[in-house]
Amino acid sequence: MGHHSCCNQQKVKRGLWSPEEDEKLIRYITTHGYGCWSEVPEKAGLQRCGKSCRLRWINYLRPDIRRGRFSPEEEKLIISLHGAVGNRWAHIASHLPGRTDNEIKNYWNSWIKKKIRKTTTTQTSNKPTTDQHSQFGYTSNQVDFLNQDLVTKRPLQDTLFSSPSPLFMFDTGPVGLEGIGTDGNERPGELFQESMGLNSEVVAWHMNQQEVPAVLPLASFSGGMDSNYLPPLIESNEGMAAMEVQPCSINGEREMGLELNEWVESQQCASFLFWDQPEGPVLGGEEIAPASSNMGTMLSPYPSSL
DNA sequence: AAGAGCGGCAACCGCATTGCT
DNA sequence: AAGCAATGCGGTTGCCGCTCT
């Protein structure tokens, strides 16, 4: 198609929407719905193409839209989901109620990249420290991964969703990975890098137990999922997106004295990101992220490089 | 004060996908 | 099965406001 059929009409207006146009579109959609977007402009008295109307409604005018700054929890969720599915903005947006793909895409392309570059610049001249990363809300392992993603543009979802291994594991325990590692000095970034060479993936979300009581059987995640699959999110009582959880044996393995990377390997896991740990120090006494979140610890997985 | 540079973001473009005939 | 139209999606553009010099 050279031209969009919906935009073939003459004198279609382009550019920013005026308040009057917005009002017309809102009035029409709220009374008639939007069964066929190509019919909307004419019926609503707008000199726009249907596609433009749809975009305007979905991204800015629909009543359940959520505007304003992204919360730390949303930001973390975006980064985590982006690591899992790549630039599939609509997919990511589906896990952030009220947010649009366009908004998330813009956010990623400006704010998050800027943060990462800023951190990377610092990193090149100085050995990274926990403080440097936590000033932006990222741990070193997150930054490492994101840098890699930005540089290589590797289509991560290909490896993630083609893996025969269990893709998702969940830990409802209040301490999760606390104490994993035998020397007491391991940093999350090092653990992350060490685990990058493995060939399978796992998603492990360690959620706050009080907020996320639901349990889903692990088997429901381990096979037959289509390429669009992500575990379902549920709403906590604070309005945050949270993932349903399933107990796993992290603590048990820790008690057996395994290093985390060994444990990861034994579980056919590839890599992890570590989010907030509001319970206090973890991983050998290191606080791995600023305790700014009340979301609980969230472990986000990334597929290993092949 | 003014203009150049930059970044954020709304909107567009083109391709992919879906659904209908 | 093929063709077409509508919709969905991600990449990109370009305007506008802010900051810097």
List residues bridging with A171 in a β-sheet: A206
CA distances for A59 relative to A63, A66, A100, A202, A281, angstroms: 10, 10, 6, 33, 40
> How high is the pLDDT of residue A119?
61
Through-space separation of residue A139 CA and nucleotide B20 C1' in angstroms: 50
pLDDT on residue A47 = 92
pLDDT value at position A83?
A: 87
Residues in chain A predicted with pLDDT less than 50, given as ranges, are 1-6, 8-9, 127-306
pLDDT for A141 equals 43
Q: Is the pTM of this model over 0.85?
A: no
Instruction: Give SS3 for A181.
Output: coil
Q: How far apart are CA A73 and CA A70, in angstroms?
A: 8
Residue A99 CA distance to nucleotide C20 C1' (Å): 33
Q: Which nucleotide is nearest to A51 (CA to C1')?
A: C7
pLDDT at A296: 29
pLDDT of residue A198: 26
**Nucleotide with smallest C1' distance to residue A12 CA:** B12
**Tens digits of residue pLDDT in A112-166:** 666 666 666 555 555 433 333 333 334 444 444 444 444 333 333 333 333 322 2
A142-145 contacts, C-beta under 8 A, 24 or more apart:
A142/A79, A142/A273, A142/A274, A143/A116, A143/A119, A143/A189, A144/A189, A144/A192, A144/A193, A145/A83, A145/A192, A145/A271, A145/A273, A145/A302
Q: Would you say the C-beta of A65 is within 7 Å of strand B?
A: no
Q: How far is CA A242 from CA A95, A119, A245, A294, A298, in A?
A: 9, 28, 9, 12, 9
pLDDT of residue A112: 64
Q: Is A143 helix (H, G, I), strand (E, B) or coil?
A: helix
pLDDT in the model for residue A55? 94
Q: What is the pLDDT, as a whole number, of residue A132?
A: 35
Residue A114 pLDDT? 67
Concatenated DSSP letters for A87-122?
A: S-HHHHHTTSTT--HHHHHHHIIIIIHHHHHHHHHH
Quick count: other Cβ atoms within 10 Å of Cβ A2?
Answer: 3
Strand C closer than 7 Å to the CB of A35?
yes
Q: Tell me the CA–C1' distance in angstroms for A16 and C14.
A: 11
Q: Does residue A37 approach strand C to less than 7 Å at its CB?
A: yes
Contact A269, A301 (CB under 8 A): yes
Q: Is A62 exposed, middle or buried (0-12, 13-18, 19+ CB in 10 A)?
A: middle
User: For the CA atoms of chain A, what is the radius of gyration?
Assistant: 22
pLDDT of the residue at A64: 87
User: Nearest protein residue to B16's C1' (by CA)?
Assistant: A1
Residue A10: predicted pLDDT:
57
Is A154 near strand C, with its CB below 7 A from some atom of it? no
